[in-house]
Structure 1
């Protein structure tokens, strides 16, 4: 065997398999690519990293006979499996088309465990090489060329810890979720109930709750009939001030979410803002690919939390004293947080179809524009402070310039795709309309069309090194 063949074989050995036989006519997707299957048993040649398998099983002949209409094929609930692949790993699942769920285990008996941490090891699926060869003709090759361009940008901050905390992992390291699963950020989910069943774009009325039997008490093997929720970070968007705040402090932190964001990161995310970005990305792929409406609620809440944290856009020296606060605000590392936020949102916007907001979620467009207007104002107000600091600290100046470039790139793309007019970051406040997010330009303000060419042209920057280390001047 020559060196090239040996290298190719070694690379193949590091790739994984996902085996899930589905009925003919089912929908199956991986990492944003979706197709209707014929003779299909799974996916091969999976590279290491996070993968998201989405599927809607076609109804059986018996189920089809009970569906309304003479030729209706029905719309099955979308199910999803999230998993971080390491080196050569194989995951085998079996779909029960009668119960319309994944079988609980290989024998279809014991309930799956769901753990909220990554400390415990995961059981490996042992599959013979002969078995894999027998399935080879019905295994689709991983669509590397189709998904590589967008998948990394959609999941760059999602870690296995993020997945375990929000979705929970079973004994094989898989996070199981479906379109009907509720969230801790739902109005009813926060009180312990799941969301009602919904279709993409319109809610259905009077649908039953979904309850899943799992083992939540791993040490005692206790079985719980409580509904399984997506456990995003918990916060009340309508009550964002510190306990006991009165007067000016109450007014400030009810409008400015900086204290709430800092408190959430410190108390629930181990003081790591990157995990907040990971939850935002996870919420996006769950609602965009799985059509999980509870994740849409979480996404809007997390998006607004970041955009409306005006004080965090200021240098620490320009912020109000935190001596009276029960916990301090984030450090100057919050500036890279905004740089990374703009980058990941650009990737999300580029992934969506150009008519997504107009045809599917116009209300989401209004929410995003209102939040982006607040962020634009906060960044514009902070510009003089960062400029003054940058004259003495070149590293800090570089971070601020990156924020500005990423805003300009986002503004250019959203103008082209959706007709959004986000404007440019200015040293004075820009006046935005209450619901439209449209800017009323000052006479001396530079228009986006003037930024298309030359050294001031906006561009999409490379995110290499974003995750960085803990230095303030490193990007997350």
Structure 2
């Protein structure tokens, strides 16, 4: 993707109006990242300055001092306002961010010392900001709050806690906390997922047709998944259908940057559902125009090795794109949408050498009699 260089005017604006993340006491060697960028923490690191206001994803991985291996990635979304100073402190015992907010006195002291902190702060890498916006432009603060775990933390591996002890002696002498970077097999066997740590994705209904449908109607709904899409929109985004694009982006970022496999699964489910509709395409033309753009950026941002090994190995992307284009060209959508779809199809076929023409004989659905 084309990189956006920062002009002198933009740099000055971000210096005066940009946000700041102050991250204190982070051990040297920790992996720290924001959006599409990651670094290894050095001895003088105290955070990031000149952050463009808006949605950002902050993440980190503790490093084992003995093996130097990194713990599973943990992160959180935050919507920065202009000139905001967000202060976080590392908890060495938990190998994580301290869950307690800093005191108002410390917050005030840090904000008043912004100039002194400046030399310990890394500048936000603005050259990657355009790419980040293309991956998150449908995500709002409300949507992020709706989908994020109750804990607020998004973990690449499910966070675990010890099962309650069933003996008085263990109650009196609880086991020491388990290191995030080196749990033993016995530790894992004696632990369970922490409630409230799961991402709250929308549930895709298993009912693909209305109750009481005739055999002919069932066949139509199995061929055209618009009923399932409308059910999802009515249940989760009744006032604005385009918010489903925000959830697709949320899932993609959690997968691509947060390394959450369950998010990849949700991205696949929602992408397949959107591509498996025909009548919904003409009902929501603006939604599908934006969906084409979304797919364009997602396909180009998947790492090449992962793309080959995971996505194309089961032909998922090619299969859903074939469905999308077949449904779009068969639908009653206007010429503008079909024209955009055709250009997108030709672009993908040229760049990736994919055959995106639908094969009507392969995987044909069963007709209900």
Shorter-chain TM-score range: 0.7 to 0.9
Are the equivalent residues in 1 in contact too, given 2:22–2:85 (CA < 8 A)? yes
CA separation of 1:398 and 1:379: change in aligned 2, threshold 3 A: closer
Which of 17, 28, 33 aligns to 1:29? It is 33
Deviations 1:377-396 (A, max 9, x none): 212323xx45xxxxxxxxx4
Work out the CA distance in 1 between the residues paired with 2:225 and 2:277: 4
Say if 2:114 is the partner of 1:132: yes
1:233 matched to which residue of 2?
202
1:189 matched to which residue of 2?
none
Are the equivalent residues in 2 in contact too, given 1:339–1:406 (CA < 8 A)? no
Work out the CA distance in 2 between the residues paired with 1:99 and 1:379: 51
Are the equivalent residues in 2 in contact too, given 1:50–1:82 (CA < 8 A)? yes
Are the equivalent residues in 1 in contact too, given 2:31–2:63 (CA < 8 A)? yes
| Residue 168 of structure 1: how far off its partner (Å) | 5.4
Are the equivalent residues in 2 in contact too, given 1:370–1:434 (CA < 8 A)? no
Deviations 1:114-165 (A, max 9, x none): xxxxxxxxxx9545445333332221100001x1231111111111121011
TM-score by length of structure 1 reads 0.62
SS in 2 for 1:273: coil
Say if 2:279 is the partner of 1:311: yes
Are the equivalent residues in 2 in contact too, given 1:266–1:272 (CA < 8 A)? no
Work out the CA distance in 2 between the residues paired with 1:8 and 1:150: 18
1:281 matched to which residue of 2?
249
Work out the CA distance in 1 between the residues paired with 2:290 and 2:10: 36
2:359 matched to which residue of 1?
431
Say if 2:193 is the partner of 1:210: yes
Which aligned pairs between 1:94-243 and structure 2 lie closer than 5 A? Answer: 94-106=89-101, 126-145=108-127, 147-167=128-148, 175-181=152-158, 208-211=191-194, 226-236=195-205, 238-243=206-211
Deviations 1:158-190 (A, max 9, x none): 1112101101588xxxx43111359xxxxxxxx
Deviations 1:282-303 (A, max 9, x none): 1001011111111111111111
Which of 351, 354, 360 aligns to 1:420? It is 354
Say if 2:42 is the partner of 1:38: yes
Unaligned stretches of 5+ residues in structure 2: 1-7, 160-179, 181-187, 364-369
CA separation of 1:260 and 1:11: change in aligned 2, threshold 3 A: same
CA separation of 1:357 and 1:342: change in aligned 2, threshold 3 A: same
CA separation of 1:404 and 1:8: change in aligned 2, threshold 3 A: closer
Work out the CA distance in 2 between the residues paired with 1:136 and 1:311: 55
Are the equivalent residues in 2 in contact too, given 1:17–1:91 (CA < 8 A)? yes
Work out the CA distance in 2 between the residues paired with 1:367 and 1:300: 8
Work out the CA distance in 2 between the residues paired with 1:9 and 1:377: 49
CA separation of 1:336 and 1:55: change in aligned 2, threshold 3 A: same
SS in 2 for 1:34: strand
Count residues in correspondence: 325
Which one has more relative contact order, counting CA pairs under 8 Å at least 6 apart?
Answer: 2
Are the equivalent residues in 1 in contact too, given 2:14–2:50 (CA < 8 A)? no
Work out the CA distance in 1 between the residues paired with 2:360 and 2:108: 59
CA separation of 1:152 and 1:106: change in aligned 2, threshold 3 A: closer
1:19 matched to which residue of 2?
22
Aligned-CA RMSD value: 3.0
2:367 matched to which residue of 1?
none
Work out the CA distance in 1 between the residues paired with 2:337 and 2:321: 20
Which of 338, 342, 345 aligns to 2:292? It is 342
1:447 matched to which residue of 2?
none
| Residue 263 of structure 1: how far off its partner (Å) | 1.6
Which aligned pairs between 1:429-468 and structure 2 lie closer than 5 A? Answer: 430-431=358-359, 434=362
Structure having the larger proportion of residues in helix: 2
SS in 1 for 2:238: coil
SS in 2 for 1:93: strand
CA separation of 1:6 and 1:273: change in aligned 2, threshold 3 A: closer
Are the equivalent residues in 2 in contact too, given 1:92–1:125 (CA < 8 A)? yes
